[in-house]
Amino acid sequence: EVQLVESGGGLVQPGGSLRLSCAASGFTFSSYSMHWVRQAPGKGLEWVSYISSSSSTIYYADSVKGRFTVSRDNAKNSLYLQMNSLRDEDTAVYYCAPTRVVSGNKDVWGQGTTVTVSS
Protein backbone atom coordinates (compact mmCIF):
# COMPACT_ATOMS: atom_id res chain seq x y z
CA GLU A 1 0.00 0.00 0.00
CA VAL A 2 1.36 3.41 -0.95
CA GLN A 3 1.40 5.72 2.04
CA LEU A 4 2.71 9.05 3.30
CA VAL A 5 2.62 9.90 6.99
CA GLU A 6 3.37 13.40 8.19
CA SER A 7 4.43 14.18 11.73
CA GLY A 8 6.02 16.90 13.80
CA GLY A 9 3.21 19.43 13.95
CA GLY A 10 2.17 21.17 17.13
CA LEU A 11 1.72 24.43 18.97
CA VAL A 12 4.60 26.89 18.77
CA GLN A 13 5.01 30.53 19.71
CA PRO A 14 5.63 33.20 17.07
CA GLY A 15 9.30 33.26 16.19
CA GLY A 16 9.72 29.60 17.09
CA SER A 17 10.75 26.60 15.03
CA LEU A 18 9.35 23.21 14.07
CA ARG A 19 10.57 20.36 11.91
CA LEU A 20 7.98 18.41 9.97
CA SER A 21 8.62 14.91 8.68
CA CYS A 22 6.94 12.87 5.97
CA ALA A 23 7.56 9.11 5.92
CA ALA A 24 6.94 7.31 2.62
CA SER A 25 6.21 3.64 2.07
CA GLY A 26 4.91 1.37 -0.68
CA PHE A 27 6.65 3.16 -3.55
CA THR A 28 10.18 4.06 -4.65
CA PHE A 29 10.44 7.36 -2.80
CA SER A 30 13.84 8.20 -4.28
CA SER A 31 12.35 8.34 -7.79
CA TYR A 32 9.88 11.14 -7.10
CA SER A 33 10.11 14.84 -6.56
CA MET A 34 7.95 16.04 -3.69
CA HIS A 35 5.80 19.00 -2.68
CA TRP A 36 4.83 20.47 0.66
CA VAL A 37 1.37 22.03 0.52
CA ARG A 38 -0.50 23.77 3.35
CA GLN A 39 -4.04 24.79 4.15
CA ALA A 40 -4.87 27.50 6.67
CA PRO A 41 -8.11 27.06 8.63
CA GLY A 42 -11.08 27.62 6.34
CA LYS A 43 -8.83 28.54 3.41
CA GLY A 44 -7.70 26.94 0.18
CA LEU A 45 -4.60 24.97 -0.65
CA GLU A 46 -1.28 26.84 -0.80
CA TRP A 47 1.87 25.46 -2.38
CA VAL A 48 4.86 25.77 -0.04
CA SER A 49 7.91 24.00 -1.46
CA TYR A 50 9.29 21.58 -4.07
CA ILE A 51 12.31 19.29 -3.92
CA SER A 52 13.54 17.13 -6.78
CA SER A 53 14.23 13.43 -6.36
CA SER A 54 17.97 14.00 -5.91
CA SER A 55 17.58 17.23 -3.91
CA SER A 56 19.39 19.08 -6.67
CA THR A 57 16.48 21.45 -7.34
CA ILE A 58 14.49 23.24 -4.64
CA TYR A 59 11.84 25.92 -4.84
CA TYR A 60 9.93 27.88 -2.20
CA ALA A 61 6.86 30.06 -2.14
CA ASP A 62 7.70 33.71 -1.53
CA SER A 63 5.74 33.56 1.74
CA VAL A 64 8.20 31.08 3.29
CA LYS A 65 11.45 31.76 1.43
CA GLY A 66 14.33 32.38 3.82
CA ARG A 67 12.45 30.87 6.77
CA PHE A 68 11.65 27.31 5.65
CA THR A 69 14.10 24.66 4.42
CA VAL A 70 13.04 21.49 2.63
CA SER A 71 15.23 18.39 2.59
CA ARG A 72 14.98 14.66 2.08
CA ASP A 73 16.79 11.48 3.02
CA ASN A 74 16.16 8.89 0.32
CA ALA A 75 17.86 6.18 2.38
CA LYS A 76 15.22 6.73 5.06
CA ASN A 77 12.35 7.33 2.61
CA SER A 78 11.71 10.62 4.35
CA LEU A 79 10.97 14.23 3.50
CA TYR A 80 11.45 17.13 5.91
CA LEU A 81 10.41 20.75 6.32
CA GLN A 82 12.41 22.85 8.78
CA MET A 83 10.31 25.87 9.69
CA ASN A 84 11.99 28.80 11.46
CA SER A 85 10.82 32.28 12.43
CA LEU A 86 7.24 31.06 12.46
CA ARG A 87 4.43 33.56 12.12
CA ASP A 88 0.73 33.47 12.95
CA GLU A 89 -0.02 33.14 9.24
CA ASP A 90 1.93 29.87 9.06
CA THR A 91 -0.86 28.21 11.06
CA ALA A 92 -2.16 25.47 8.79
CA VAL A 93 -2.40 21.78 8.05
CA TYR A 94 0.75 20.76 6.18
CA TYR A 95 0.60 17.99 3.58
CA CYS A 96 3.35 16.22 1.65
CA ALA A 97 2.73 14.71 -1.77
CA PRO A 98 4.72 13.55 -4.80
CA THR A 99 4.52 15.87 -7.79
CA ARG A 100 2.93 13.12 -9.86
CA VAL A 101 1.17 9.83 -9.39
CA VAL A 102 3.47 6.99 -8.41
CA SER A 103 4.07 3.72 -10.22
CA GLY A 104 0.89 1.79 -10.87
CA ASN A 105 -0.87 5.09 -11.58
CA LYS A 106 -1.52 5.51 -7.88
CA ASP A 107 -2.28 8.76 -6.13
CA VAL A 108 -0.86 9.33 -2.66
CA TRP A 109 -1.18 12.19 -0.21
CA GLY A 110 -0.40 12.29 3.48
CA GLN A 111 -3.13 12.88 6.05
CA GLY A 112 -1.52 16.15 7.09
CA THR A 113 0.01 17.49 10.28
CA THR A 114 -1.31 20.58 12.06
CA VAL A 115 0.91 23.52 12.90
CA THR A 116 -0.48 26.20 15.19
CA VAL A 117 1.51 29.37 15.74
CA SER A 118 0.15 31.28 18.69
CA SER A 119 1.28 32.97 21.87
Partner 1 sequence: NFMLTQPHSVSESPGKTVTISCTGSSGSIASNYVQWYQQRPGSAPTTVIYEDNQRPSGVPDRFSGSIDSSSNSASLTISGLKTEDEADYYCQSYDSSNRGVFGGGTKLTVL
Decide whether 47 or 91 has the Cβ nearer to partner 1: 47
Quote the CA–CA distance of 37 and 33 in Å, as a whole number. Answer: 13
3 state SS of 34: strand
**Contact predicate 81/23, CB 8 Å:** no
Decide whether 86 or 96 has the Cβ nearer to partner 1: 96
**Contact predicate 97/78, CB 8 Å:** no
Angle at 27 between CA 26 and CA 33, to 5 degrees: 140
Smallest separation, CB 112 to partner 1 (Å): 6
Smallest separation, CB 82 to partner 1 (Å): 19
Smallest separation, CB 119 to partner 1 (Å): 27
3 state SS of 61: coil
Smallest separation, CB 61 to partner 1 (Å): 6
Interacting residues with partner 1 (CB under 8 A): 35, 37, 44-47, 50, 59-61, 95, 97, 100-101, 104-107, 109-112
Decide whether 65 or 76 has the Cβ nearer to partner 1: 65
